[in-house]
Structure 1
């Protein structure tokens, strides 16, 4: 395989990249890494345009005020961008749809303004996450005639590919279909990679003959050798395409959610409930005594995404009950996975008027109660909504004029 090169523009960034992933929260979450100095970064797509790039805007708080995309912000290159924060650097990642994807890094200067530090290219990947001192990325094959998926790890000190390898995702599936990773996450000294099984046959590519099973591949790190596969038949697969279905709580336990999204020929064929399952700290098996059935609480709505608020509390973006298969998120709930409580949230816009939710990148200080989500409505108004888990309410906060909020992140200043 031809080695992927990183095209580095601005080597000064090498000394500025933090060697390990720190908390992206301005409120200390108990890790000792919390920072109260920095800016919120809001990515917004300008209104009344198609196929254009996000603008990156900054704010001191999310509870009130107004921002505008007109003449403000930093325009991104490319229309499919995803974001992450590592230490005091903000990364904007272009999904190249099969082509190489650009990655741009920013840092706050002394005046609190975002400055571009470097720009480089990697393969377009479908899953990525910080693992130890690396960023691990996986490019997943979607063709049954190409059994090999590829992983790469970027060293956070050298900003170069420090390792790469192959995973036979047809062999991993073991059922004649292909394993497609929904996301990856470090758990202890392992990498957990939930996957769904797909035909990848060019006809019913994302369809499956196995809609009522879940799998998590457990890899050793750093060599990415397969340790085992965690299997269960109480739900369908974990997470969704480009959607993280795992969370590690403060105790080190892993919570995995599944929604009945598996399809055959475009029709949902899952018969299992939407639910949370648990993997106890230090183990690589599901706790068979734990099962939090969300379907019993939510009816036909199922989880479209989750935002962990800390202390076992999740904010859940829920799908439209009249058409859950659409995946459209237009209502919210709070779930406590410790107590197995589920409460619908009030105070959000009329579900019929919600057109967009910042589900890929929402924000929480991990205080066990507070979350922030960008919501855009059919009248073109876009605002950050503050969620109070204890009260199960939401209130309108920072407004963005002339754009659709796609991401909310906290970027710490350099210590």
Structure 2
């Protein structure tokens, strides 16, 4: 087994992805804000890296060309750590309060396409945030101490907390450890929540003695009552800390992505491959006839983060084993329908970081739009979901790109 320090492990998980992230609202219910002139504006968040300074929110009509800068431009966010989500045509900026409550600031676009603040309120610092119906579901998940996870429903139109539910994570795990939700995904009219099984002992919080199992808790909505836990043992847990690992496609099927990176006392203990599994529409079981061994097809790389393009095409950020492939970090496209894997070409050879977890797609749904930061500079790229070819677009100056979103006005 390969020895990992805790710092190295979490670098593998999140250092090459943006801590702040955005989500393209594909619900088709964009009725919560803006004036609906049929126009679209892109929101690019960028950080200067200065101590105590959060991201700047920049706006642009086109990200395929030109340049933009944080110098004398944009809306500065308060607080050091921010993460983002779009829902109901509103842009939400959530402050990570290091365990304390943090501000939730809502923006939309006015009739001139200018980003304006709509509301500002306090909410608990959370580890999961996802669009569900016309809400944003957020979850505060304890890693030690008390074992109760708190779930909050935020009305995405009116920016109000409308409900709360709780889950005892030790009871949910049922194996002497505790469940730590990696994310939440609306699948049909339910919410599927993949989780890690973790020790939560204050010393090796994210370690586990159950490295080779997969769990997805199924909740009804809006009541958030637990209905079932879907289990498998062909790979490890789906997603990762602050990282979505379950997506629903246009057919109603759900695909789960595992990096197979479970540890115990900073030692990588997963023996199963990094892979993709499937839950068929209308079922609450893993499809035993489907197993996409990504680690094998990539030549030994593991999935770090995933975002959906469309039509079964997913953009993957992959990282390697330092002893086998120099620990390289690379982008790839996976077609889950045909189980094909394609390395992205024409992208920078060295990535400092990338907004690879939650990206937006082009209007035709054929490509992902992603921010890539490199030692030479920071650019927005478009990556074709069929060919895997990357095309360089707008340069972002004065800060590293942390998220990309879009709103209508």
TM-score by length of 1: 0.87
Partner-residue secondary structure (3-state), 2:170: helix
Contact 1:239 1:258 in 2 (8 A): yes
Structure 1 pair 355/156, CA: closer, same or farther in 2 (3 Å)? Answer: closer
- State whether residues 135 and 154 of structure 1, in contact with CA within 8 Å, keep that contact through their aligned partners in structure 2: yes
Residues 6-38 of structure 1, C-alpha deviations (whole Å, 9 max, x = no match) = xxxxxxxxxxxxxxxx9647xxx9x59798512
Question: Which residue of structure 2 lines up, in the alignment, with residue 183 of structure 1?
Answer: 183
Aligned length: 382
Partner Cα distance (2:40, 2:243) in 1? 27
Aligned-partner Cα distance in 2 for 1:406–1:304: 16
Is the 1:212–1:236 contact (alpha carbons within 8 Å) kept by the matching residues of 2? yes
* Structure 2 counterparts to residues 13-412 of structure 1, below 5 A: 24=25, 36-46=38-48, 49-143=50-144, 145-322=145-322, 330-351=329-350, 354-365=351-362, 367-379=364-376, 381-412=377-408
Alpha-carbon separation, structure 1, partners of 2:45 and 2:370: 12
Higher RCO (CA-CA < 8 Å; seq separation 6+): 2
Q: 1:32 to 1:98 in 2, by over 3 A?
A: closer
Cα displacement (A) at 1:228: 0.6
Q: 1:195 to 1:87 in 2, by over 3 A?
A: same
CA contact (8 A) 2:24 2:405 kept: no
Distance 1:204 1:107 in 2: 42
Q: Deviations over 1:145-203 (max 9, x none)?
A: 41211111123455332221221100100011110000011111211000001100011
Contact 2:119 2:159 in 1 (8 A): no
State the secondary structure of the residue aligned to 1:172.
helix
Given that residues 245 and 258 in structure 2 are in contact (C-alpha distance below 8 angstroms), is that contact kept between their aligned partners in structure 1? Answer: yes
Query: Aligned partners of 1:329 and 1:128: how far apart in 2?
Result: 29
CA 97–33 in structure 1, closer or farther in 2 if over 3 Å, else same: closer
Q: Report the Cα offset of residue 88 of structure 1.
A: 2.2
The whole-number CA distance in structure 1 between the counterparts of 2:215 and 2:118 is: 39
Higher mean C-alpha displacement, 187-196 vs 125-134: 125-134
Larger CA deviation: 158-167 vs 276-285: 158-167
- Cα distance in 2, alignment partners of residues 173 and 200 from structure 1: 12
Change beyond 3 A, Cα 1:390–1:97: same
Contact 1:216-1:231 at 8 Å conserved across structures: yes
Residues 148 and 33 of structure 1, relative CA distance in 2, 3 Å threshold = closer
Query: Given that residues 361 and 406 in structure 1 are in contact (C-alpha distance below 8 angstroms), is that contact kept between their aligned partners in structure 2?
Result: no
For 2:117 and 2:29, how far apart are their aligned partners in 1? 28
**1:385 Cα deviation (Å)?**
1.2
RMSD: 2.2
Displacement of 1:325 in angstroms is 12
TM-score, normalization by structure 2? 0.89
What secondary structure is seen at the aligned counterpart in 2 of 1:334?
strand
Instruction: State how far apart, in whole Å, the 1-side matches of 2:72 and 2:320 are.
Output: 36
Q: Does the 8 A contact of 2:81 with 2:96 survive in 1? A: yes
1:172 touches 1:178 (CA, 8 Å); kept in 2? yes
Aligned to 1:18: none
SS in 1 for 2:219: strand
State the match for 1:7 in structure 2. none
Following TM superposition, by how much is the alpha carbon of 1:375 offset from its aligned partner in structure 2, in angstroms? 0.9
Is the CA contact 2:106–2:159 (under 8 Å) kept in the aligned structure 1?
Answer: no
Q: What are the superposed Cα offsets for residues 344-384 of structure 1, whole Å, 9 maximum, x if unpaired?
A: 11111113xx21111343221374531111111123x1100
Q: CA deviation at 1:40?
A: 0.3
Partners of 1:207 and 1:265 within 8 A in 2: yes
